Amino acid sequence: MDSGASSHLSSLSENLSSSNSALPSNSNIIVGNGTHLPITFSGKTLFPKSNRPLHLSNVLVSTYLIANLVSIHKFTKDNSCSVEFDPFDLTVKDLQTRTVVHRCNSFKHLYPLLLSSTSHPSVLLAALETTWHRQLGHPGIQVLSRLRSNNFISVIHSDHDASLCHACQLGRHSRLPFSHSLSRPSKPFELIYCDLRMSPIMRISGSKY
């Protein structure tokens, strides 16, 4: 549940009961740090296992998201309900009768909207392996594999995950040895010492160092 989200957001199109891939080319999601995430699908879904079906309309899907977010404003408006929070759970109530429609336990500092109170909220945390790699500070493959095997993260497999991380390549460059030189400068700036690195972009002259 997110009080600041203006739309329902999901990282998986499988979460939708019906989807629509016909989106404008400039469709994107603006997240808290100003980053624009491309939208791949939109659609709707519902929670049929509550006391009455709870609809989520106009759900936006982007594979770059690391969590599914439910917009409280859209949720309460579309379902004519209210959402109440306490230290232990969240409660969805019918707006007219005030009867309890759905209840979910809180998890740490979050209020996940789950089908049942016993569901594990880790299913909400699904993202591409490259996204987890960036978000968790560029850990190695062994660390990500351990997190995945312990069900701390859920990884969406993609062909792009096999690509090397450019930031890691630059950050883990090692210096090649320099041979000793007997030359001595006779005036300032005749001999200049500087660091070398290989640039991924070739200069106009054709050099990459």
Question: Domain range spanning residue 34?
Answer: 8-124
Mean pLDDT calculated for residue range 18-43: 78
* Number of CB atoms found within 10 A of residue 142's CB: 8
116 lies in some domain:
yes
Q: Is-contact 19 61, C-beta < 8 A?
A: yes
Would you say residue 119 has pLDDT above 70? no
17 lies in some domain:
yes
How confident is the model at residue 116, as a pLDDT?
46
d(CA 119, CA 202): 52
Q: Where are the alpha helices (DSSP H) in 27-184?
A: 72-79, 129-135, 141-149, 166-171
Pair 30, 40 in one domain: yes
Pair 113, 18 in one domain: yes
**Structure token pair of residue 188:** 């300032």
Pair 111, 38 in one domain: yes
Pair 110, 133 in one domain: no
- Confidence grade of residue 118 (pLDDT, cut at 50, 70, 90): very low
**pLDDT tens digits along 162-190:** 567 777 877 777 666 777 878 888 888 88
**pLDDT tens digits along 49-72:** 566 788 888 888 888 888 888 999
Q: Is the pTM of this model over 0.75?
A: no
Pair 54, 110 in one domain: yes
User: Which candidate, 118, 89, 93, 91, places its Cα nearest to that of 105?
Assistant: 89
